[in-house]
Amino acid sequence: MRKWVGRMGVFLFVFGLCLNGARAEDICSKVTIETLKLQIPFIFPKDARIVSKKNVKGFCEVILNIRGRNFPFYVGKDFVILGQMFSQKKNLSAITLKKLAQEKEKEEQKLFKKLKPEVEKVVAIEYKPSVQTQRTIYMFTDPVCPWCHRAEAFIKKVAKEYNATFKIIFFPVHLPKGKEKAIEAVCRHLDLDGYLKEDWRKGKNTQKFQCKEGKELLEKSIKLAKKLAIRGVPTFFLDNGQRVVGANIERLKKALEGKKEVKYR
């Protein structure tokens, strides 16, 4: 996959023949995943899907989502151009990708707000820096994820700086250990201080703390994470549903400060 993506840069790759006079208005109606596969020698993953297609400068601009990332293609009658299109000093591909990213972000926010009551029910650990906080940060994490540990080390600092409550929800991606440790954290009734300590994570008593309460909570949180299309951890959500992916605390701070950072994904 990495080699495949590496070829998806700003360079243009042409496969097949010329347009041969095909009418522009007919091009997009005939473009499908199957017709793209006939022209492109790369192997598409099963989850590849078309998220957008429209006529641009006589071509069909197709935005293909592959494993969570969007890539632009420009399709003619019997050829495909892979890359970015420029016109009058404007990057038309980037404009489309940005618009799609903004639309996706709005949909994600709407979905989170809709599912927020369910989110509250699967909170495993809550931390408040003061009695009255002004906002809430939801963090999906895995007890054995090293990147999550880096982000978790800043929870108290960020909570205090922005007067925010942190609510931790488990979504283990390192199986089976991550799942077992998540259940253990719930069954131990750990608070944030206890959770951040290394002793329980490295301990060998995990099987003694696999209670029914922990298993049920984790089952619900995993189902919820899938509804929210969370692909990795750590993943943060703000009150308004804005999503911040990864252990980049500076990016989280920018989101808390209302500074927009749209990712073309």
Compute the C-alpha angle 68/72/56, nearest 5°. 140
| Distance (Å, whole) CA 55 – CA 62 | 9
* pLDDT at residue 99, rounded to an integer: 95
* pLDDT at residue 202, rounded to an integer: 85
* pLDDT at residue 133, rounded to an integer: 92
For the chain, where are the E strands, in sequence order?
Answer: 13-16, 49-56, 59-66, 69-75, 79-82, 86-87, 90-91, 125-127, 135-141, 164-170, 235-237, 243-245
CATH number of 108-256: 3.40.30.10
Tens of pLDDT along the chain (265 residues)?
A: 444 444 444 334 443 333 334 454 578 998 999 999 888 888 788 889 999 999 999 999 999 999 888 999 999 988 999 999 999 999 999 999 999 999 999 999 999 999 999 999 999 999 999 888 999 999 999 999 999 999 999 999 999 999 999 999 999 999 999 999 999 999 999 999 999 998 898 888 899 999 999 999 999 999 999 999 999 999 999 999 999 999 999 999 999 998 765 454 4
* pLDDT at residue 261, rounded to an integer: 59
Please name which of 168, 147, 159 lies closest in space to residue 237, comparing C-alpha atoms.
Answer: 168
Give 44's DSSP letter: P
| Distance (Å, whole) CA 171 – CA 211 | 17
Going from N- to C-terminal start, the domains of the chain cover 2-87, 108-256
* pLDDT at residue 229, rounded to an integer: 92
Give 39's DSSP letter: H
| Distance (Å, whole) CA 148 – CA 198 | 13
| Cβ atoms < 10 Å from Cβ of 223 | 12
CA 161 to chain centroid: 26
* pLDDT at residue 236, rounded to an integer: 98
| Distance (Å, whole) CA 61 – CA 59 | 6
Answer whether 78's CB lies under 8 Å from 17's CB: yes
| Distance (Å, whole) CA 264 – CA 210 | 40
* pLDDT at residue 130, rounded to an integer: 85
